[in-house]
Amino acid sequence: MIDFELQNHRPLREIVYEQLKRQILTGRIAPGTRMMEVELAEEMGVSRTPVREATRKLEKDGLVVIEPRRGAYVSDISVKDMVDTLVVRESLEGLAAALASQRITREELDRLDAMTTEYSDAIAAGDMEKIIHEDEGFHRTIVEMSGNKTLSSLFEIIQELALRFRYLYYDDFTRYENMPTEHMNIVEAIRGGDPENAREVSDKHVKKLKDFVINEGKDAFQEHSKR
């Protein structure tokens, strides 16, 4: 149920929309799940109206599909859409690493080293929420260290598009057991000060994810779908 006292009198439809969107993006509401207005309203402690309004907004976001006589369902994850997202992410993060390599400070490098350690510890503990938080934070930090505000804005759009995929990808430990080493390689490439090498190492990291989606994405996404 929503804690309304913490919402600072914001419109109810916005609160419901943001909470449902977060649950879909993180996989708590799985692809293919039917969005039952009555059940969701009861669960969140609201009337059906804000749930209906939120569902329509989620449809515009591409996160919900509304079908005549069948109702609303959480949209499936398209392999093509995910590959398209990763193609853009590969270019953005490669550019960020290249730019960061030319301006990063010792203190910032120390920060990236610490984040890599935190990421490794999260994996060792099997804490999925922290794993995803540390992974996302690592890449966001490199983008911030590039010093390019436009790049940072574009990165945030890509991160949201890729969030659903992250939660599916990280459900299998074997897929990310080597990720801390890859993060360390990115840091070392940035530390080396060669922008082309930094870009290449970063590109290789994202390409691994892209190849997974191309080769195994369809089966992985179907496995997590309720339709």
Crossing angle of helices 79-101 and 195-223, rounded to 10°: 160
What is the CATH code of the structural domain delimited by 4-74? 1.10.10.10
HEC profile of the chain: CCCHHHCCCCCHHHHHHHHHHHHHHCCCCCCCCECCHHHHHHHHCCCHHHHHHHHHHHHHHCCEEEECCCEEEECCCCHHHHHHHHHHHHHHHHHHHHHHHCCCCHHHHHHHHHHHHHHHHHHHHCCHHHHHHHHHHHHHHHHHHCCCHHHHHHHHHHHHHHHHHHHHHCCCHHHCCCHHHHHHHHHHHHHCCCHHHHHHHHHHHHHHHHHHHHHHHHHHHHHCCCC
73 and 34 in contact (C-beta within 8 Å)?
A: yes
Q: What's the pLDDT tens digit per position in 64-115?
A: 999 988 899 999 888 888 899 999 999 999 999 999 999 999 999 999 999 9
pLDDT at residue 31 tops 70 = yes
**φ/ψ of residue 90, rounded to 5:** -60, -45
Residue-range domain boundaries for the chain: 4-74, 79-223
Percent of the chain with pLDDT over 70: 89
Q: What's the pLDDT tens digit per position in 169-227?
A: 666 666 677 899 999 999 999 999 999 999 999 999 999 888 888 887 777 666 655 65
Q: Which residue carries 């080493």 as its tokens?
A: 181
* Residue 105 CB-density burial (10 A; 0-12 exposed, 13-18 middle, 19+ buried): exposed
Can you identify the CATH homologous superfamily of domain 79-223? GntR ligand-binding domain-like (1.20.120.530)
Query: What pLDDT, on a 0 to 100 scale, did the predictor assign at position 7?
Result: 55
Crossing angle of helices 128-145 and 79-101, rounded to 10°: 50
Stated pTM of the model: 0.81
